[in-house]
Amino acid sequence: MQTNLRGRDMITTQEWTRDEIDTILDVAFDLKRQRALGVPHAYLRDKALAMLFFFTSTRTRGSFEAGMAQLGGHAAFIDSTTTQISHGDTAKEIGEIFGRYYDGIAIRQCDWDFGNRYIRDVAAASRTPVLNMQCDIYHPFQILADLMTIIEKKGDPRGLTINVSWAYASSYQKPISVPQSLILLMTRFGMHVRLTHPPEYKLMPDIVAQAQDNARKHGGSLELLDDFDAGFQGADVVYPKSWGALLTTTDNAESAAIGRRYTDWIADDRRMALAKRDAIYMHCLPADRNIEVADSVIDGEQSVVYDEAENRLHVQKAVMALTMA
């Protein structure tokens, strides 16, 4: 267990060591146990977290607010449109000022080719930890919750096969931060990772290269596929979700037209039957029901989406307790 994490930013898990991530998981499991037993754990009494949102949220806002309250502190919800950011407040000014008001700054900024840079600029100016609630490149807390869930449901992740697959959705051009963060972290824990997507839905080449390097170092593998059914075949964990064709086009209409070529990429009962009998279905939510995933799958016995969502609370509390105490 690492004990020197106070003041650390969490922008991507890739910047934390395996030992440090193991520490997060240890603390998260302990905090989950304490909450289940009704044991108070106000490790952040009198601490305050600024939560700056440029994009709407259900699970992220709810879990950070609840988590800070359970840790004895306060989370301030700040919609970016209610600030002076549009009138000139820079990332440096947000970091300098909020870093003096608050004991931590959490930010969700997913604008393509901007969000991560903005969060890093705030972090460079802040004297307190900056937590990435999702950007255009990474979604670290979702992926920590995913790993925690896999460990709960399947045990040691080493040697397990996870299919990180694109799936069709008609709602909007979703960020690529979830699949990118998945392939980065799961390869560090010795999993055999399949990245399955149509050719137009590729991820950032440097992220894929980092995941391949992680796999070489930690005994896993990264396999690139373009066949939806093949990705499910014999998998222990399936994680089919939509993301945008952002490296092909940033035009929403063009992206929607590309997506319509692949409307059959839906996680349904036939596809689940291709995976192992005890495979689990995962999704970060929200999912486009009966478009991205069939109701019978997301509401079925193999689905762990609500445990996965709950674990957002516990991993976030762990990181906050370790970095903000």
Give the residue extent of every domain in the chain. Answer: 13-139+312-324, 142-308
Contact 272, 302 (CB under 8 A): yes
Q: Radius of gyration over alpha carbons of the chain, in Å?
A: 19
- pLDDT of residue 244 exceeding 80, the answer is yes
What is the Cα–Cα distance from 304 to 123, expressed in whole angstroms?
Answer: 34
Using DSSP, state whether 7 is helix, strand or coil. coil
Q: Is residue 101 a contact partner of residue 48, using CB atoms and an 8 Å limit? A: yes
- Per-residue pLDDT at 171 exceeds 90: no
DSSP 3-state helix, strand, coil percentages of the chain (rounded to 5)? Answer: 45, 15, 35
- 172 band by pLDDT with thresholds 50, 70 and 90: confident
Superfamily of domain 142-308 in CATH is Aspartate/ornithine carbamoyltransferase (3.40.50.1370)
Q: What average pLDDT does range 159-178 have in this prediction?
A: 95
pLDDT at 106 over 80: yes
Answer yes or no: are the C-beta atoms of 135 and 115 closer than 8 Å. yes
**Both tokens of residue 197?**
């997507």
* Closest listed residue to residue 184, CA positions, set 231, 217, 153: 217
Q: What share of the chain has pLDDT > 90, as a percent?
A: 98
Q: Do domains 13-139+312-324 and 142-308 have the same CATH topology?
A: yes
What pLDDT is recorded for position 206?
A: 98
pLDDT higher at 252 or 247: 247
Superfamily (CATH H level) for 13-139+312-324: Aspartate/ornithine carbamoyltransferase (3.40.50.1370)
Band (32; pLDDT cuts 50, 70, 90): very high
Neighbours of 221 (CB within 10 A): 15
In tens, the pLDDT along 259-316 reads: 999 999 999 999 999 999 999 999 999 999 999 999 999 999 999 999 999 999 999 9
